[in-house]
Structure 1
Amino acid sequence: MILRPLRSGMLGAVLAGLVALPWATPLAAQELIGAYTAYIGADDLYNSKGARLSAPWQVLRQDRANFHEFGIAQRGDEWDPVFGDVDNRALMERMVMNGSIEPAAARNIMAGGATVFVRIFKGARGDFVRVSVSR
């Protein structure tokens, strides 16, 4: 899986800032390429046609589409260097499955009203995300 390059020069500045943070130190065969925080609101629980989403990766993907494409953001939503590209958002399901999300975190995402912290990695076995959730 290959992430499409960003169309802006901001990626270098963002990555340089992330590398300076202690939690951003890459592990063996992993490279942190971005991170963001977002609040999962009611708008994120439904797709663009108004249908209720049924999986946490769908909600995470819709949150990023709302933020980057539709200009819908809740307090706490942050920019990320990866999911502004529609093709990268389409990879969200596989990235969640290749990464980690606790069952309780998945339930909180599906209920809405939760804050997610998503770390995006490039790894030896493919790109993946690690999702943490708080209420």
Structure 2
Amino acid sequence: MAQATQRRRFGMGFAAIAAGLALSCLNSAPAQAQDLIGSYVAYIGQPDLFNSKGARLSQPWQILRQDRANFHRYGISQPGDEFDPFFGSIDNRAIMERMVMNGSIDPQAAKRLVQGGATVFVRIYGSGSTGTSLTVTVAK
């Protein structure tokens, strides 16, 4: 009887440790990033799919960058677009490609983003006011 109780305690302790580790992995930021320094939601509409010269953009980071330029610099937004303090800076928009490459976006999500008509949820990771990576989630 004592052995069975001891085995149950060990099993419950092991399960709790395993669950804690799994939870910490789910809640962790990308390896290169220290802290979540900002986030925003945006709807990717037709104006976000073209650069200021009218050329169609083909990469997710280009479209995300154009969306933020449209919002902050040109005052162009769609219903659902949110303010973010980080990409109000032209210098921060300039590092968008590197931040996407250092972060994550599912290939299917990237495809939906490039097609337009999608809502994106962007998490900005870094330290202080220095961004290092983005995670992008896309809903159609």
TM-score normalised to structure 1 length: 0.77
What amino acid is aligned across from residue 134 of structure 2 in structure 1?
A: V
Match of 1:12 in 2: none
Long gaps (5+) in structure 1: 1-24
Per the alignment, residue 106 of structure 1 pairs with 110
Structure number having the greater helix percentage = 2
Structure of higher CA gyration radius: 2
1:57-102: CA deviation from partner (whole Å, max 9, x where unpaired): 0000000000000000000000012100001001000000000000
Correspondence list, 1:40-51, <5 A: 40-51=44-55
Structure 2, unaligned runs of 5 or more: 1-26
1:58 aligns with 2:71: no
Please tell me the residue identity of whatever aligns with 1:90.
Answer: A
Answer yes or no: is the 8 Å Cα contact 1:36–1:80 preserved in 2: yes
Aligned position for 2:6: none
CA distance in 2, matches of 1:101, 1:80: 19
Residue matched to 1:117? 121
Distance in 2 (CA, whole Å) between partners of 1:56 and 1:131 is 10
Aligned with 2:135 (options 110, 130, 135) = 130
Deviation at 1:26, TM superposition (A): 6.5
| AA partner of residue 106 (structure 1) | A
- 8 Å Cα contact 1:26-1:32 kept in structure 2: no
Shift of 1:105: 0.7
Partner AA of 2:121 in structure 1? F
Q: Percent identity?
A: 66
1:1-135 alignment to 2 at 5 Å? 27=29, 30-122=34-126, 127-135=132-140
Distance of 1:110 and 1:54 partners within structure 2 = 6
Residue deviations 1:6-42 (CA, integer Å, cap 9, x gap): xxxxxxxxxxxxxxxxxxx775862000000000000
Match in the other structure for 1:13: none
Residue equivalent to 2:13: none
Instruction: Provide the secondary structure at the position in 2 that maps to 1:50.
Output: coil
